[in-house]
Amino acid sequence: MGGVLEAVIRMPTKVEKWKDEVYGNEIRDHLMRFAEEGWDAIPDEEQDAWFERFKWWGLYHQRSGQESYFMMRIGTPNGVIEPGQLRVIGEVAKEYATGPADNPEFGDAYCDWTTRQSIQLHWIKLEDIPEIFDKLESAGLSTQQACGDSWRNIVGCPVAGKDKHEHVDSWDVAENLHNTFKGDDDHVNLPRKWKVAVAGCDEGCAQGDINDLAFEPAEKDGEIGFNVRVGGGLARKEPRFARDIDVWVPKEKTAEVAGGLSALFRDYGDRDDRFNARIKFLVDEWGPEKVRETLQEEYVDFELPTAGEDMRDEYTYNTGTQDGHNDHVGVHEQNDGNYYVGLNVLVGRQGADDVLELANLAEEYGSGEVRLTQRQNIIVTDIPEGNLDDFLAEDLLEDYSPDPSPFMRGSIACTGTEYCSLSIVETKNRQVRYARWLRDNVELPEDHEEFHIHLSGCTASCAQPQIADVSLRGMKTRKDGEPVEALDIGLGGGLGDEPRFADWVEMRVPADEVPGAIKNLLANFEAERSEDETFRDFVARHDEEQLAEFIEPEETNYEDPYMHNTKQTWYPYAEGDDSMDASPAPTDGEGRPLKPADD
């Protein structure tokens, strides 16, 4: 009897069954067939299965009320967008990423730069996929494995190979991993996503601690290579920092170790419970020692050196110390004497026309290359010193500043209810309004130039709220008897040599009271801090009850037009009737509403 029960309990998920039937590279042929035949060619009873598979080719079906429209993600390893590619991205956004309603802050066509140095476009029609793929691939760009249960976009220091402060050039390592494992049949079908970070600089901006696999610079026997950490991640209200498995690897062996760990996850990861199917839970169960032992015995054919001497004590990125050039915003000299300029893109969203104008400027003043950061910003590289003043005087930089307010500079937001089926609240437009209000109404202490506020619409943590100074997470509550959008507030998260997750100290604060809460929090911080104490240390010094008292949510002159339940609309910013019944979706390839089958 026990065996029968065990068999039932350990039954593979329906997603695994779908993947057993069709997955990986072969999905593309089916995708192209559906694109040719149109939206109606996908049987209703098979939509969930195909939507899950389409993710492998970078396509997420948008939420209820937006049927037949997709988000498309383009992977750019290490955030590197080579000369000519930014123009193609802008052209694709302008031509294809347009929908039946405008966003009041951002208009129609735009690009989202993500926290994994990728690009997301919205309102993509299935019927346009072949043309879009042709345009992207002709420029060396791809959506392959940008989503799905496989190797995701590889992240790292966005100025790798150009940074004056790096211990080792990690760009060629990231590029090699990308070229090796994208489309590799041995690694296309993993239990869940596989996120990899490669660090080479002394800032720690690759955020290895929150990735499934991290390579971090370390010295052993006089050689700079990488220590290996495994099992980081933020989602499911169960965040983990990656664990040290006591392995050092030289540059030339990184692909072998990465492939071994990917295969270990493929073979031993949980395929029976998707909520438990990340490697962080396998590391919890086994411990780092068993991970190392299994990697050595089953997956690599050379002796794994023990860990070297790391450089984590030099990290400044998101440490709360206010040191370093760690978020790469501003003007910085490269290792070749040229300069890169990091531009603040508020919540990572840039209009297609602005993207095309930036492509022009990158070609005029630099090499044409740009790079994306994990803070949703963009960097123009290779600018000669003689071109700097003219570039900085360009009108476009009034909107995308290299010297923004700390509240603008520190803002990150996920997609939110605008398009996402998981999100509980509206995010991007709200965080834009929060940042502007805070800029105009709140002063940080003079010694704090960086202050991170991350708004995530749900517990999936796409905006990485647990590692922010102020963490915001979407919820619902009631105010004056009416249901309204609300946010949990956490404090004191960050990375560095001693990373810590935010403490969630105030729950379900109505969204229009959050700016007042942050204003009061910062006033209390300035009044109560010890001399030269950082905000992060201030939070660590107080318990949750004391921190909750510092927050003091209250209404101000801030106005929030998204307080109603945006999840129940077909599009949060639709003019007039925004109910689900008013949605034009699904539509055909030309954007015309499709009539129900019984009409």
Q: How would residue 322 be classed by pLDDT, with cut points 50, 70 and 90?
A: confident
Residue 596 lies in a domain: no
**Sign of the alpha-carbon dihedral angle for 392, 398, 399, 405:** positive
Give the pLDDT confidence score for residue 143 in this predicted structure: 98
Neighbours of 309 (CB within 10 A): 11
Least confidently predicted of 317-321, 429-433, 585-589:
317-321
Q: Is the pLDDT confidence value at 250 over 80?
A: yes
Give the pLDDT confidence score for residue 3 in this predicted structure: 40
* 212-231: average pLDDT: 97
Give the pLDDT confidence score for residue 235 in this predicted structure: 87
| Cα distance from N-terminal residue to C-terminal residue, the chain | 52
User: Which helix (H) or strand (E) covers residue 30, if one does?
Assistant: helix 27-37
Q: Are 123 and 219 in the same domain?
A: no
Q: Are 431 and 481 in the same domain?
A: yes
Q: How would residue 10 be classed by pLDDT, with cut points 50, 70 and 90?
A: low
Q: Are 334 and 419 in the same domain?
A: no
Q: Is the pLDDT confidence value at 596 over 90?
A: no
Q: What CATH number is attached to the domain comprising 45? A: 3.90.480.20
d(C-alpha 464, C-alpha 472), whole Å? 10
Q: Are 432 and 457 in the same domain?
A: yes
* 322-345: average pLDDT: 91
Q: Are 46 and 89 in the same domain?
A: yes
- Parallel, antiparallel, or unpaired for β 243-249 and 482-491? unpaired
Percent of the chain at pLDDT exceeding 70: 97
- Reading the block at residue 146, the tokens are 């940008």
Residues 300, 260 contacting (CB under 8 angstroms): yes
Q: Are 93 and 180 in the same domain?
A: no
Q: Is the pLDDT confidence value at 598 over 50?
A: no
Give the pLDDT confidence score for residue 277 in this predicted structure: 95
Q: How would residue 324 be classed by pLDDT, with cut points 50, 70 and 90?
A: low
Q: Are 414 and 400 in the same domain?
A: no
Give the pLDDT confidence score for residue 230 in this predicted structure: 98
Q: Where are the alpha helices (DSSP H) in 303-427?
A: 352-365, 388-392, 406-409
Please give the distance of CA 452 from its chain centroid, rounded to a whole number: 15
Residue 340 lies in a domain: yes
Angle between helices 352-365 and 85-96 (to 10 degrees): 160
Q: What is the mean pLDDT of the chain?
A: 95
- Parallel, antiparallel, or unpaired for β 196-198 and 213-220? parallel
Residues 329, 543 contacting (CB under 8 angstroms): no
Q: Are 497 and 388 in the same domain?
A: no
Neighbours of 399 (CB within 10 A): 13
SS3 of 231-296: the string is CCECCCCCCECCEEEEEEECHHHHHHHHHHHHHHHHHHCCCCCHHHCCHHHHHHHHCHHHHHHHHH
- The residues near 23 (Cβ < 8 Å, ≥ 6 apart) are 53, 56, 188, 189
Residues 472, 465 contacting (CB under 8 angstroms): yes
Residue 207 lies in a domain: yes
Residue 145 lies in a domain: no
Q: Are 267 and 220 in the same domain?
A: yes
What's the domain range around 555? Answer: 409-567
Q: Are 452 and 373 in the same domain?
A: no
- What residue type is 456 in one-letter code? S
Domain final position from 382, 404, 426: 404
Neighbours of 124 (CB within 10 A): 24
Rounded to the nearest 5 degrees, what angle is found at the Cα of 415, between the Cα atoms of 398 and 360? 35
Residue 577 lies in a domain: no
Residues 203, 324 contacting (CB under 8 angstroms): yes
* 197-206: average pLDDT: 93
Number of domains in the chain: 4
Give the pLDDT confidence score for residue 2 in this predicted structure: 40
Q: Is the pLDDT confidence value at 214 over 50?
A: yes
Least confidently predicted of 10-14, 174-178, 305-309:
10-14
Q: What is the pLDDT of residues 43-78, one digit of tens each?
A: 999 999 999 999 999 999 999 999 999 999 999 999
Residue 9 lies in a domain: no
Q: What is the pLDDT of residues 529-574, one digit of tens each?
A: 998 899 999 999 999 999 999 999 999 999 999 998 888 999 999 9
Residue 161 lies in a domain: no
Check whether the bond before 586 is cis (ω within 30° of 0): yes
Q: What CATH number is attached to the domain comprising 388? A: 3.30.70.3340
Residue 305 lies in a domain: yes
Greater pLDDT, 564 or 308: 308
d(C-alpha 211, C-alpha 471), whole Å? 19
Q: Are 476 and 383 in the same domain?
A: no
Q: What is the pLDDT of residues 110-152, one digit of tens each?
A: 999 999 999 999 999 999 999 999 999 999 999 999 999 999 9
d(C-alpha 418, C-alpha 457), whole Å? 10
Q: What is the pLDDT of residues 448-507, one digit of tens each?
A: 989 999 999 999 999 999 999 999 999 999 999 999 999 999 999 999 999 999 999 999
pTM: 0.95
Domain final position from 348, 378, 404: 404
Q: Is the pLDDT confidence value at 5 over 50?
A: no
Q: How would residue 17 be classed by pLDDT, with cut points 50, 70 and 90?
A: very high
Give the pLDDT confidence score for residue 346 in this predicted structure: 98
Give the pLDDT confidence score for residue 543 in this predicted structure: 95
Q: Are 284 and 301 in the same domain?
A: yes
Neighbours of 137 (CB within 10 A): 13
Q: What CATH number is attached to the domain comprising 525? A: 3.30.413.10
Strands (E), 373-481: 378-383, 411-413, 453-456, 470-479
- Sequence length of the chain is 599
Domain final position from 289, 314, 339: 314
